Amino acid sequence: MLDNDFIYLDYAAATPVDSRVFEAMKPYFSENFFNPSAPYLPAKHVRRIYEDYKNELAHTIGAKGNDLVITAGATESINLAFTVLKNFENANCIISKIEHASVREAAKNLCKDVREIGVDKNGLIDLKALKNSIDDNTILISVALANNELGTIEPLSEIAEIIRAVRMDRLSRNDETPLYLHSDASQAMSLIDIFVSRLGVDMLTINSAKVYGPKGIGALYVGHGIKLSPITFGGGQESGLRSGTENVASLVGFATAAKIAKEHVNGNRKKYEKLSKLFRETLVKNLDGVIEPKFLGNQKKQLANFAPVCFDGLDAERLIFKLEDEKIYVSTGAACAASKGEKSHVLTAVGLTDSEIAGSLRISMGKTNDEEQVKTAAEKMAEIVKKELERIHG
């Protein structure tokens, strides 16, 4: 695991593989390496293990193994979900304005009519606007369960309620056009309940890399009767939806990680609520009132491990470098966007000014963080912010 000589606060970008996960994966690299489709006993044994772990993974979201398509990660899962649009002419889809690039780009490239729904200052989707934008050609609504920059938890069950009403209305008119709800739950798995029936989703993207599992593996839950199209063609694995030799070791890792996450959802939430409170209070206190940090989102509807914060007028990138000198690692937003120097569309959508966006940091906590780390991080951050203010204002 991690050394204690640095403080990592960017768990929303990547998580280290849990040692129990790594141990579970190990035998499938070189002992049980057989191709699960081969005809001899040890290969059939590997097939059984693969299906068993797929079932275990499915159980963590209240589904069955057969409901899952195993992919190479969340991006592929999301793109696969959007193929549902292919079967309908003039289909439109609805996404929120704060979706991750993978949803935005999949929507843009796989649908001619993408309707983006605004959010309030906390990142909560405008349900009325969502409802109003649905018409008879709307096939898919895709809203992340928890936003990757703010941690905002979206009201999926209320969206599902709206969808149910639309379905009833369509049925009453003998219109059999389906309307599906897909959600990217990448950020949420270790922090909130993600049972598909309770969320009310028809499709759900889950991601190993954000839940202390290996990178390069994800899954898409697909409800009964939903017809998707494969993105790649070949040997016909995963019921023809995802060809390619099964990545047994990584699936074993993902399922193990998901199981651990599910078992600790409540404990995790309590831990991070405490740490987040400590972080916020220590930061405010140590800033001595020279600047009011603006915590983004509404903690009541936010993943407990998120504490995104804005220092209006400061340069977040400078803060990141100064924090890095102290071995404290935070980011500005989505890693893939940040690396391209793009302005956050999420922070724009919640109504932040350019100056506020430029001064915003994403703090996301995880397993290795404890009270001491979080307190130290907040103290150092306050110190650096004060020095920056002095440098600017003299």
Residue 218 host element (H or E):
strand 218-222
Residue 54 touching a second copy (CB under 8 A): no
From the CB of 29, what's the least distance to a second copy, in Å?
4
Residue 393 host element (H or E):
helix 371-393
> Is there a contact between 149 and 308 (Cβ–Cβ < 8 Å)?
yes
From the CB of 211, what's the least distance to a second copy, in Å?
13
* Cβ proximity to a second copy, 166 vs 357, nearer residue: 357
Q: CB under 8 A: which stretch of 137-145, 161-169, 191-199, 317-325 binds a second copy?
A: 317-325
Q: Where are the beta strands (DSSP E) in 46-112?
A: 68-71, 92-96
Residue 295, classed as helix, strand or coil, is strand
From the CB of 288, what's the least distance to a second copy, in Å?
27
What is the dihedral angle through the alpha carbons of 344, 348, 350, 353, rounded to the nearest 10 degrees? 120
From the CB of 206, what's the least distance to a second copy, in Å?
14
From the CB of 315, what's the least distance to a second copy, in Å?
13
Residue 236 touching a second copy (CB under 8 A): yes
From the CB of 207, what's the least distance to a second copy, in Å?
9
> Which residue among 93, 111, 310, 336 is the active-site one?
336
Residue 6 touching a second copy (CB under 8 A): yes
- Per rule CB under 8 A, count of chain residues that contact a second copy: 77
**Contact positions with a second copy (CB under 8 A) in 22-41:** 22, 29-31, 33-41
> Is there a contact between 131 and 162 (Cβ–Cβ < 8 Å)?
yes
The two tokens of residue 125 are 């989707």
Q: How many CB atoms lie within 10 A of CB 81?
A: 28
The two tokens of residue 47 are 């097939």
Residue 302 touching a second copy (CB under 8 A): no
Q: CB under 8 A: which stretch of 175-183, 237-245, 283-291, 347-355 binds a second copy?
A: 237-245
> Is there a contact between 127 and 162 (Cβ–Cβ < 8 Å)?
yes
Contact residue for a second copy among 149, 246, 356, 388 (CB under 8 A): 246
Residue 87 touching a second copy (CB under 8 A): no
Tokens 């070189």 — which residue?
30
Contact residue for a second copy among 120, 132, 175, 235 (CB under 8 A): 235
What is the dihedral angle through the alpha carbons of 253, 257, 263, 267, rounded to the nearest 10 degrees? 160
Task: Using alpha carbons, select from 319, 317, 335, 295 the residue that is nearest to residue 377.
Answer: 319
**Contact positions with a second copy (CB under 8 A) in 367-386:** none
**Contact positions with a second copy (CB under 8 A) in 329-368:** 329-332, 334-340
Per-residue b/e over 297-316, b at no fewer than 16 CB within 10 Å?
bbbebbbbbbbbbbbbebeb
Q: Tell me, residue by residue from 176 to 215, as one string, x for binding to a second copy by CB under 8 A and - for no binding.
A: ---------------------------------x----xx
Q: CB under 8 A: which stretch of 67-75, 112-120, 259-267, 280-288 binds a second copy?
A: 67-75
* Cβ proximity to a second copy, 139 vs 162, nearer residue: 139
Residue 219, classed as helix, strand or coil, is strand
**Contact positions with a second copy (CB under 8 A) in 90-129:** 100-102, 105-106, 108-110
From the CB of 168, what's the least distance to a second copy, in Å?
33
Contacts of 165 (CB under 8 A, 6+ apart): none
What span, in angstroms and rounded, lies between the C-alpha atoms of 245 and 235?
A: 8
111 is catalytic: no
* Cβ proximity to a second copy, 242 vs 271, nearer residue: 242
> Is there a contact between 373 and 8 (Cβ–Cβ < 8 Å)?
no
**Residues classed as catalytic:** 336
